[in-house]
Amino acid sequence: MLKVGDKVEWVKPSPNYRNWYGTVAELGEHKVKIEWIIREGKTKFKWEPYKDVKWIDVIPVNLPQNKRRSRDFLQDIDYPAPYRDWHMDGNCYANGEKLFVGYSTLRPNAKTRAKLEEACRDCRVMIICRSEALKTDSVGWWGGMDEADRLQWAKTLPLKEMAE
């Protein structure tokens, strides 16, 4: 039986999902509150069914294979310029569905993800939204992507031209 302070791993529904590790913060009757590690120095609390977590002895050190390309390069990207109140031009804002702006779940389920993708489709500020999320280190759904997808997308962006 789990107890507060135990280290846990999320039981992935398929191998395509990311590995999640965390610490038990609180126990409920049917769920357990986990402090999930998003990345070094950033965590998020979420209640999970007991069946979706398993006890582990130690949280593994999961450093990205190429540390330079994983985070440090974000400051060198030539982002599109935002403008004041850009978010008001977003599909999510315009249709009155405040749920979509910065939807902050770690792993939206397939139904929610489809709804979020639809809300962002053909949005005229999607790239700005996505870029702002990268620049501000935002968690959740921004610009039609979750955090992991945004990092992959960022690797395709041009870097700033360095002054010589």
Residue 56, pLDDT score: 94
Residues counted in the chain: 164
Residue 65, pLDDT score: 41
Please choose, from the candidates 46, 74, 93, the residue with its C-alpha nearest in 3D space to the C-alpha of residue 155: 74
Amino acid at 61: V
- State pTM to two decimals: 0.49
Residue 26, pLDDT score: 95
Residue 162, pLDDT score: 54
Give tens-digit pLDDT for 100-122: 545 666 667 788 888 888 888 88
Long-range contacts of 145-148 (CB under 8 A, 24+ apart): 146/107, 146/108, 146/113, 147/38, 148/18
Residue 103, pLDDT score: 61
* Sign of CA pseudo-dihedral 144, 149, 153, 159: positive
- What is the fold, at CATH topology level, of the domain defined by 7-56? SH3 type barrels. (2.30.30)
Residue 112, pLDDT score: 81
Beta bridge partners of residue 56, listed in sequence order: 7
**Under-50 pLDDT residues of the chain:** 63-69, 99, 101, 163-164
Residue 94, pLDDT score: 61
Residue 66, pLDDT score: 40
Residue 104, pLDDT score: 63
Could you give the strand order of the β-sheet that contains 42-49, starting from the edge strand earlier in sequence? 42-49, 31-39, 21-27, 7-10, 53-56
Residue 48, pLDDT score: 92
Residue 77, pLDDT score: 66
Sequence-ordered strand ranges (E) for 5-65: 7-10, 21-27, 31-39, 42-49, 53-56
Buried (b) or exposed (e) across 29-52, using 16+ Cβ within 10 A?
Answer: eebbbbebbeeeeeebebebeeee
Domain map (residue ranges) of the chain = 7-56, 67-154
